[in-house]
């Protein structure tokens, strides 16, 4: 006979944290949110950690290069989706690794023989008032000079004049050499009172520009997640069908972390893939596996000491219909607590600590806080990031409200790429496990993340925790009745402003 568990599948919204002593020296801004993504042996430091416990889901509608850059600048990590050809996923990884905060490729360039009228048109269309002049008008051509809107008077000068008659010649341009640090580049801007510094190769070809206005922006991102070469970090998802070709291409492109993307990772195919990757690349690469929802699945995945972290969650995703289509899954809180307990016993017995990612189903900041208090080291989210300006989908107006399309990886729409890919044998999709939907647009990722993190830090202070590991150790959670959930909202009062709703409600209703 089937085993019937005595527990009920629980979700995060059924729990609340009980405050504990807050010390007088504690402040939200002093809380450390860094968290491991790789196994910790004894007292050793993890080989990879993020500066905040948020990662973005490996989904077409979520983790493209722009979002990966924006999230890494906040201290988190994106997993670029694998439901695309290997070459395009590797190119997205390269785009993130190429992005050098503060060093931007020049997107508006002129040639010496352009007329002032042509340059004015160029400046107006790009919105830039400083334009490098290169031998061929390309962003990497030989730099001949710089022209700005202060080098001519639109209503006084002859607009048919050539750029070369008005530009600052290369010999008088202050520039930095390729390889210069951002600190030194900013030092040159400051010393010479310049707004823009071209960075040139030894042959004086244009490499990038550094702007004074970006300096303050850079100072605003103290938690940026950088690799040893000061490039932004990025993760990638892989599947069990083409990892033999995909993983080497991703490693070559510079990926920092890889993770199997599967709705059910308690699976021999995935373990074969894990073994293959470890045989080929050793322990240097940070490798995650999942998804699982039971201690039994955890034992299977971590049994051979091959993976760095596990991902927990089946069927909880906002666009997921796996539970109703296949009857498998588990309440996210129950799954997490079961696996955390097993992970903690393993750590006690062997000194080996496996980070856990709670993946999917989080619909407000409170649930992130509860997931982390329950033992997750970090959370993966799709809908949350899909709603931001930086997600890869177009903004769409519906009845005067702005939305972004958001669809599951288990939809025909997401899986359609296989039909055009030579690396994947096209598999027929008999039924879908996800839906195609819209989510409200909430604005820049930085604003959304900063609000979430401020709330998380405040709660950690309420519990007397200075770090996420202390938060997990000190958290006392209580289950709530339906009546107490009702009590938690406003009752018997009429609100005339929507501020409170906007702050506390699910992200979809913010703003």
Residues with a catalytic annotation lie at: 320, 419
Nearer to ligand MZP, 94 or 326 (CB): 326
Q: Say whether residue 288 binds ligand MZP (CB under 6 A).
A: no
State CA 376 to chain mean position distance: 17
Q: Say whether residue 377 binds ligand MZP (CB under 6 A).
A: no
CB of 49 to ligand MZP, least distance (A): 20
Show Cβ contacts of residue 441 under 8 Å, excluding neighbours closer than 6 positions.
387, 388, 389, 395, 402, 403, 404
Q: Say whether residue 360 binds ligand MZP (CB under 6 A).
A: yes
Q: Which residue's entry shows tokens 């971590």?
A: 302
130-134/143-148 β-pairing:
antiparallel
Q: Say whether residue 232 binds ligand MZP (CB under 6 A).
A: no
CB of 407 to ligand MZP, least distance (A): 7
Q: Which of 53, 102, 361, 375 binds ligand MZP (CB under 6 A)?
A: 361
Nearer to ligand MZP, 263 or 446 (CB): 263
Let me know: does 56 contact 357? Beta carbons within 8 Å.
no
Tell me how far apart the 2 most distant CA atoms of the chain are, in Å. 92
Stretch that binds ligand MZP, among 45-53, 396-404, 406-414, 467-475 (CB under 6 A): 406-414
CB of 11 to ligand MZP, least distance (A): 12
Cβ neighbours around 434 below 10 Å, total: 24
In the structure encoding, which two tokens stand for residue 370, read together? 């509860």
Q: What is the DSSP string of 397-458?
A: EETTEEEEEEE-TTSHHHHGGGGG-SSS------S-SB-EEEEE--B-HHHHHHHHHHHHHH
Residues found in the chain: 511
Q: Which of 35, 433, 438, 457 binds ligand MZP (CB under 6 A)?
A: 433
Please name which of 340, 333, 327 lies closest in space to residue 371, comparing C-alpha atoms: 333
Q: Say whether residue 330 binds ligand MZP (CB under 6 A).
A: no
Stretch that binds ligand MZP, among 295-303, 319-327, 366-374, 393-401 (CB under 6 A): 319-327
Q: Say whether residue 198 binds ligand MZP (CB under 6 A).
A: no
How far is CA 287 from each of CA 276, 357, 486, rounded to the nearest angstrom?
12, 13, 42
> What x/- string results for residues 36 through 75 when contact with ligand MZP is judged by CB under 6 A?
---------------------x-x----------------
Q: Which of 134, 294, 411, 415 binds ligand MZP (CB under 6 A)?
A: 411
Task: Give me the phi and psi of 214, to 5 degrees please.
Answer: -80, -15
Q: Which of 85, 317, 329, 331 binds ligand MZP (CB under 6 A)?
A: 317
Stretch that binds ligand MZP, among 23-31, 183-191, 230-238, 382-390 (CB under 6 A): 382-390
CB of 362 to ligand MZP, least distance (A): 6
Nearer to ligand MZP, 359 or 390 (CB): 359
CB of 359 to ligand MZP, least distance (A): 5
Q: Say whether residue 247 binds ligand MZP (CB under 6 A).
A: no
Q: Say whether residue 186 binds ligand MZP (CB under 6 A).
A: no
| Relative orientation angle of helices 365-374 and 445-462, to the nearest 10 degrees | 50
Task: Give me the phi and psi of 186, to 5 degrees please.
Answer: -65, -35
DSSP state of 9: P
Q: Say whether residue 382 binds ligand MZP (CB under 6 A).
A: yes
Q: Say whether residue 297 binds ligand MZP (CB under 6 A).
A: no
CB of 353 to ligand MZP, least distance (A): 23
DSSP 3-state of 383: helix
Q: Say whether residue 380 binds ligand MZP (CB under 6 A).
A: yes
Q: Which of 410, 446, 449, 457 binds ligand MZP (CB under 6 A)?
A: 410
* Residue 167 φ/ψ region, left for φ over 0, alpha for ψ in the -120 to 50 degree band, beta for the rest: beta
- Residue 226: exposure state from Cβ atoms within 10 A (0-12, 13-18, ≥19): middle
Q: Which residue's entry shows tokens 């080497």?
A: 248
CB of 219 to ligand MZP, least distance (A): 31
Nearer to ligand MZP, 382 or 392 (CB): 382
Q: Which of 383, 404, 413, 472 binds ligand MZP (CB under 6 A)?
A: 383
Show Cβ contacts of residue 184 under 8 Å, excluding neighbours closer than 6 positions.
176
Q: Which of 322, 391, 418, 452 binds ligand MZP (CB under 6 A)?
A: 322
Could you give the CA distance from residue 50 to residue 440 in angstroms, rounded to a whole number? 28
Q: Say whether residue 167 binds ligand MZP (CB under 6 A).
A: no
Could you give the CA distance from residue 437 to residue 414 in angstroms, rounded to a whole number? 12
Nearer to ligand MZP, 243 or 507 (CB): 507
Please name which of 166, 168, 288 lies closest in space to residue 237, comparing C-alpha atoms: 288
Name the site residues for ligand MZP (rule: CB under 6 A): 57, 59, 263, 313, 317-320, 322, 359-362, 380-384, 408-411, 433-434
């Amino acid at each position: 006979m089937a085993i019937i568990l005595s527990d009920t599948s629980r979700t995060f919204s059924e729990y609340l944290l009980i405050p504990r002593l807050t010390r007088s020296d504690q402040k939200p801004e002093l809380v450390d949110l860094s968290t491991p993504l790789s196994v910790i042996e004894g007292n050793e430091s993890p080989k990879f950690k993020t500066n905040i416990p948020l990662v973005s889901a490996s989904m077409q509608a979520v983790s493209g290069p722009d979002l990966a850059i924006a999230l890494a600048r906040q201290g988190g990590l994106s997993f670029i989706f694998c439901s695309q050809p290997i070459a395009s996923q590797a190119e997205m990884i390269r785009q993130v690794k190429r992005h050098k905060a503060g060093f931007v490729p020049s997107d508006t360039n002129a040639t010496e023989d352009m007329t002032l009228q042509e340059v004015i048109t160029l400046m107006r269309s790009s919105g830039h008032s400083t334009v490098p002049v290169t031998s061929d008008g390309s962003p990497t051509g030989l730099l001949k000079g710089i022209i700005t809107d202060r080098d001519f008077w639109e209503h006084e000068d002859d607009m048919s004049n050539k750029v070369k008659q008005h530009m600052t010649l290369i010999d008088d341009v202050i520039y930095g050499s390729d390889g210069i640090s951002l600190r030194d580049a900013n030092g040159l801007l400051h010393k010479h009172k310049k707004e823009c510094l071209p960075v040139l190769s030894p042959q004086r070809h244009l490499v990038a520009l550094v702007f004074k206005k970006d300096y303050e922006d850079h100072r605003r991102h103290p938690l940026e997640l950088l690799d040893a070469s000061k490039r932004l970090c990025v993760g990638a998802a892989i599947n069990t069908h083409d990892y033999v070709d995909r993983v080497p291409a991703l490693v070559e492109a510079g990926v920092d972390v890889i993770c199997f993307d599967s709705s059910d990772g308690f699976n021999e195919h995935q373990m074969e893939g894990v073994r293959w990757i470890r045989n080929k690349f050793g322990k240097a690469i940070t490798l995650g596996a999942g998804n699982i929802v039971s201690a039994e699945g955890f034992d299977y995945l971590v049994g051979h000491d091959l993976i760095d972290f596990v991902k927990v969650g089946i069927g909880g995703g906002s666009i997921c219909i796996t539970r109703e289509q296949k009857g498998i899954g588990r309440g996210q809180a129950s799954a997490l607590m079961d696996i955390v307990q097993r992970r903690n016993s393993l750590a006690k017995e062997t000194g080996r600590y496996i980070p856990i990612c709670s993946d999917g189903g989080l619909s407000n900041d409170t649930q992130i806080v509860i997931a982390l208090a329950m033992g997750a080291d970090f959370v993966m989210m799709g809908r949350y990031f899909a709603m931001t300006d930086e997600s890869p989908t177009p903004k769409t107006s519906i009845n005067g409200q702005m939305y972004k399309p958001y669809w599951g990886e288990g939809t025909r729409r997401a899986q359609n790429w296989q039909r055009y890919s030579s690396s994947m044998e096209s598999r027929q999709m008999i039924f879908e496990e996800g839906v195609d939907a819209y989510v409200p647009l909430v604005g820049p990722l930085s604003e959304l993340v900063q609000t979430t993190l401020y709330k998380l830090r405040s709660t950690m202070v309420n519990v007397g925790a200075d770090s996420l590991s202390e938060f997990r150790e000190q958290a006392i959670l209580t289950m709530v009745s339906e009546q107490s959930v009702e009590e938690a909202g406003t009752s018997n009062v009429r609100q005339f402003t929507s501020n409170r709703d906007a702050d506390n409600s699910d992200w979809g209703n913010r703003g």
